[in-house]
Structure 1
Amino acid sequence: MKSRLVDRLLLPVRVDSIEQQGPRLRKVTLTGPALAGLAWQPGQHVRLQVAPAPPAIDWLVGTLRTYSVWDHHDRTMELIVFDHGEGPGAGWARTARPGDELMLLKPQGDFTPRSGARYHLFAGDETAQVSFGPMLRALTDDAQVFARVEVDTPEERVDLSPKHLGGPRPGWNVDWTYRQGRSAASSRSLVEAVRGLSLPDEPGVAYLAGEARTIQLVRRHLVEDRGWSRRDVVTKPYWTPGRKGLD
């Protein structure tokens, strides 16, 4: 019974290649027949079985960690993994090698582009880039976009441009800010970067991702200072200091 249930929940994949994308970023390409025909929406994530766990904790699927999908096509899936911390996910990211076999849960999540928006606003930190990239690529060519992404140094930027255009679309206002060693938690500088945007008078849809307390600050600015409705602000807290289980 256990084996049959696991087979229904988890898909077998293999690490095909690993590329260093920056000081703390690694692109991990997964392959396998189980990925063919898999339903995926840009912005969604998968959960990888990165290690076994004590039976009393997770007897069925082992230790799972969540990663946004950078791209998926046919039998190939790309993840860009942010290397930080000392937990099982960080350990897997540092030690994964081509040929490794592992299991994953199918893509899930509702942090995806909303249709019919007047314009789209993106704000987040390093951890948000991997979901923002495919979401931006999925927008129509005439979409109006504002984005502010905060990273520690320029080397930790991820290219968010649509590949087939070779650069940003017309109507895009996308830029980065740099902390240069300051904490990403409760980042006032990201709030100020969003505050400095000249947005249209009517609200669009905002996608906020990254550190939980920073997301709260940006959402508060949009709702209290700019008069946006909370339903126009979509949030995805990935992490916050001292707290586990955010995904």
Structure 2
Amino acid sequence: MANRPVRELEVIRTSRITEHMLRITLGGAAMADYPSNQESAYVKLMFPQAGDKPSQKRSYTIRQQRPMEIDLDFVLHDPLGPASSWAKQAQPGDRIQVGDPGPKKLINHDADWFLLVGDMAALPAISVNLEQLPDDASGHVVIEIPSETEIQTLKAPAGLKFHWEVNPQPDPEGGFLISKVKALPWQAGQPAVWSACEFNSMRQLRHFFKEEHQLPNSHLYLSSYWKLGQSDEGHKQAKKLDNEQSTGE
């Protein structure tokens, strides 16, 4: 973050996408020299705390970008955290400190077929990935949602089959998404996989893709965006420990 400029952006408008997803459009004069072509990159928003406590930082994917505007989609968790609380109360004219975009993480297009897997937190990034795939792309999209009210209409090549998998109660062991992925037919040829989800779900998917199918890192992107029962800080610690253990294996 130290190497990325921080600018104060203004809430332009808000719009409800589904029952639990809210889109916030940010813009303002500080966008005049904003980097272009940043859809799918992440930015860090800084949410003030009471007293002298440092701001809490949260990462969000740029869902759409237009001249002088970016759209960020917020999942309205229950209970609401600092980011979702801010988003739910945001009004046009509100201002927030936002770090400039980090690297984009896109699926490898040099593949015979594609598999994208995630939950609601990953929907903005999955959506951008789908929009940028070749028109003749084929494969599967598996998305875990808490109810059918969260199903969205996403732009994607006709050869991609969507699997909206309803799971009202997340599994602490992270077994739901992996069970749906294992039920899919594994197509011939070289796949490219992009997946982001809950921490324990990510670990199970990682084992499946790396150990059972030996996918090379060039064709596999995996990330955990949150951890069930943990704060953002707890999730960061879990990711750090997991990375150290994975590196040491």
TM-score range normalised by the length of the shorter chain? 0.7 to 0.9
Cα distance in 2 between the residues matched to 1:229 and 1:124? 20
Structure 2 spans left out of the alignment, 5+ residues: 237-249
Name the structure 1 match of 2:247. none
Residue-by-residue CA offset, 1:194-232 (whole Å, 9 max, x unaligned): 112223233322111010110111221223333423553
Answer yes or no: is 1:25 the counterpart of 2:21: yes
Alignment of 1:109-148 (within 5 A): 109-148=103-142
Partners of 2:90 and 2:180 lie apart in 1 by 36
- 3-state SS of paired residue (1:213): helix
* CA distance 1:54–1:199, change in 2 (3 Å): farther
Q: Distance in 2 between matches of 1:21 and 1:140?
A: 26
Determine which of 31, 34, 58 is the counterpart of 1:35. Answer: 31
Contact 2:176 2:201 in 1 (8 A): no
Pick closer, same or farther for the CA change 1:38–1:230 going to 2, 3 Å.
Answer: closer
SS across alignment from 2:129: helix
1:1-247 equivalence runs, <5 A: 9-36=5-32, 37-52=34-49, 55=52, 58=54, 62-84=55-77, 85-161=79-155, 168-179=156-167, 181-241=168-228, 242-245=230-233, 246=235
CA distance in 2, matches of 1:127, 1:185: 17
> What CA deviation, in whole Å up to 9, does each residue of 1:161-205 have, x standing for no partner?
2xxxxxx422112221101x2215433231121112223233322
Q: Which residue of 1 aligns with 2:242?
A: none
Tell me the number of residue pairs that the alignment of Structure 1 and Structure 2 aligns: 230
Residue range with higher mean Cα deviation, 116-125 or 219-228: 219-228
Q: Using the TM superposition, name which of 44-53 and 210-219 deviates more.
A: 44-53
Mapped to 2, the partners of 1:110 and 1:32 lie a distance apart of 23
Q: Do the aligned residues in 2 keep the contact of 1:111 with 1:235 (CA within 8 Å)?
A: no
- Structure 1 runs (4+) deviating above 6 angstroms are none
Deviation at 1:52, TM superposition (A): 4.4
Using the size of structure 2 for normalisation, the TM-score is 0.82
RMSD: 2.3
Q: 1:210 and 1:160 mapped to 2: Cα distance?
A: 18
CA gap 1:32/1:137 in 2 versus in 1, 3 angstroms: same
User: Which deviates the most, 108-117 or 127-136?
Assistant: 108-117
Whether the 8 Å contact between 2:113 and 2:189 is mirrored in structure 1 is: no
> What percentage of residue pairs aligned between the two structures are identical?
21
Q: Which amino acid aligns with 2:35?
A: L
Evaluate the alpha carbon distance shift between residue 215 and residue 69 of structure 1 in structure 2; reply closer, same or farther with a 3 A threshold.
Answer: same
Deviation for aligned residue 1:124: 0.9
**Letter of the aligned partner of 1:170 in structure 2?**
A
Partners of 1:233 and 1:156 in 2: CA distance:
26
| CA 1:39–1:113: 2 relative to 1, 3 Å | farther
Alpha-carbon spacing, 1:75–1:176, altered in 2? closer, same or farther (3 Å): same
| Equivalent residue letter for 2:141 | A
1:49 alignment partner AA:
M
